[in-house]
Copies of this chain bind each other. A is one copy, B any other.
Amino acid sequence: MKTLWSERYAQRTHTMQGSAVRELLKLTEKPDIISFAGGMPAPELFPVKEFSDATRKVLAESGKQALQYGPTEGCRKLRELIARHTARYGIKVGTENILITTASQQALDLLGKIFVNPGDRIVVEQPTYLGALQAWNMYQARYVSVPLDEEGMRTDLLEEAMRTGPKFLYALPNFQNPTGVTLSEERRRRIIELADHYGVPIVEDDPYGQLRFEGEHLTPLFVLDSRTRAMQQDGSNVVYLSTFSKTLAPGIRLGWIVAPAEVIQKLVTAKQGTDLHTSTLVQMVAHEISRGGFLDKHAHQVRSVYKARRDTILAALDRNMPEGVHWTRPLGGLFTWVTLPGRIDAADLLREAVEEGVAFVPGAAFHADGSGRNTMRLNFSYAPPELIEEGIRRLGGVLKRQLAAVACLQA
């Protein structure tokens, strides 16, 4: 059905893709499917009672404020809480360095809006977070992909990418989405060194940092950079993003950006035209829940549950995957990344898997250049252990059948 609108879409929509992930999230809504797709937290861990109590308290004490328009920067108290929270990771900033966002996806959009001209290059890990590509595709970005291995972005290949004159580098150093891989301390330092040498600023996306199951927290790029330029106050060339989505709940849509005050001011003006401000009610409720140490206590519980699920999925993969299949062993977060034999197409595998009641995300969507057809992302935070077991068993079965069929065709 054509309307006058049909012929009027802006040029930037031409690269817009009906997202595979979106269609897949729909699959996960079917109650009988075992889903390794999506990046969904375990709903049984949501602090439902705390949300209920906090909302009652906020509305009783400050209802008029909570339901009214608020400042675009975000509520001061929440920004103060975030400043205290990030200080523990060495990110020591003031409220003028913090912007509250409608979760991290909006942070990515706003960064694209104020920094990306059509044709600008962004250095990304290969594979990288699909949502970042979606956000920046709308600003007609191009990508320079740097492969990663078990220690994160391959810094031996980074220098060439830095020489292409990119607008910025985008990295997820902790338990990366989609691979679960953590950037090693040595490579962090190397990235900062190269970024400094080539004058390329960095966007550090850290949604999962609090979900480390084992080992020590590694130094954020933001902190490494500030050290190298200790002489310049407020001089970080790293913009740092995080979110309440993986510690409290994604359904509230609440995250934040840490950046130089000058960048925050530009982001604020951009956000004003984008959604004016993030829900005052949601901000005040999240503040009420988080103050007094609940955030840490709750993150501790989430970590212990996800760690058990990671152990379950890794053991199940060991037992059920045929030879020639490889996967990452994440130290935290929500995902493991599976590389299949080269002759298997994960999209074909998905079609059969769904018939067996199992879903995952084929890896090609996380590759800016469309490669990675024989890869897939498995989420282990959502399904309980017994379903993880069963799901991986079924997935192993489907894969073995496909391998046999391919062998048969080739014979």
The residue on B at minimum CB distance from A7 is B199
Q: Is A294 an interface residue (CB 8 A)?
A: no
B260 in contact with A5 (CB, 8 Å)? yes
Q: Is A201 an interface residue (CB 8 A)?
A: yes
B68 in contact with A250 (CB, 8 Å)? yes
Q: Is A253 an interface residue (CB 8 A)?
A: yes
The residue on B at minimum CB distance from A46 is B67
B1 in contact with A260 (CB, 8 Å)? yes
The residue on B at minimum CB distance from A64 is B43
Q: Which of A48-56, A179-187, A335-343 touches B?
A: A48-56
Q: Which of B43, B199, B268, B274 contacts A106 (CB 8 A)?
A: B274
In the bound complex, CA of A8 to CA of B232 (Å): 19
Please provide the chain A residues from 57 to 103 with a CB less than 8 Å away from any CB of chain B in the complex: 59-60, 63-72, 102-103
Q: Tell me the smallest distance from the CB of A45 to a CB of chain B, in Å.
A: 10
Residues of B contacting A275 with CB < 8 Å? 102-103, 105-106, 109, 253, 275
A139 in contact with B279 (CB, 8 Å)? no
B22 in contact with A46 (CB, 8 Å)? no
Q: Tell me the smallest distance from the CB of A90 to a CB of chain B, in Å.
A: 18
A105 in contact with B266 (CB, 8 Å)? no
In the bound complex, CA of A55 to CA of B56 (Å): 8
Q: Is A40 an interface residue (CB 8 A)?
A: yes
Residues of B contacting A46 with CB < 8 Å? 63-64, 67-68
A51 in contact with B63 (CB, 8 Å)? yes
In the bound complex, CA of A270 to CA of B9 (Å): 12
Binary CB contact string for chain A from 308 to 324 against chain B (1 if under 8 A, 0 otherwise)? 00000000000000000
Number of interface residues of A (CB under 8 A): 101
The residue on B at minimum CB distance from A73 is B22
Q: Which of A113-121, A367-375, A386-394, A395-403 touches B?
A: A113-121
In the bound complex, CA of A48 to CA of B48 (Å): 20
A251 in contact with B279 (CB, 8 Å)? yes
B109 in contact with A263 (CB, 8 Å)? no
B67 in contact with A249 (CB, 8 Å)? yes
Residues of B contacting A200 with CB < 8 Å? 4
B3 in contact with A117 (CB, 8 Å)? no
The residue on B at minimum CB distance from A137 is B273
**Which 4 pairs, one residue from A and one from B, show the smallest C-beta to C-beta distance?**
A48-B63, A67-B249, A251-B280, A43-B64
Known A8-B167, A135-B273, A138-B270; 18 more pairs at CB < 8 Å: A4-B201, A8-B115, A10-B116, A10-B117, A40-B69, A41-B68, A43-B64, A43-B67, A52-B55, A52-B59, A55-B55, A67-B252, A69-B251, A109-B275, A135-B274, A249-B281, A251-B281, A282-B282
A to B CB contacts below 8 Å, 17 in the list: A1-B235, A1-B261, A3-B232, A5-B260, A10-B114, A16-B269, A19-B269, A22-B72, A25-B69, A40-B68, A43-B65, A44-B64, A49-B59, A67-B252, A102-B102, A138-B274, A251-B281
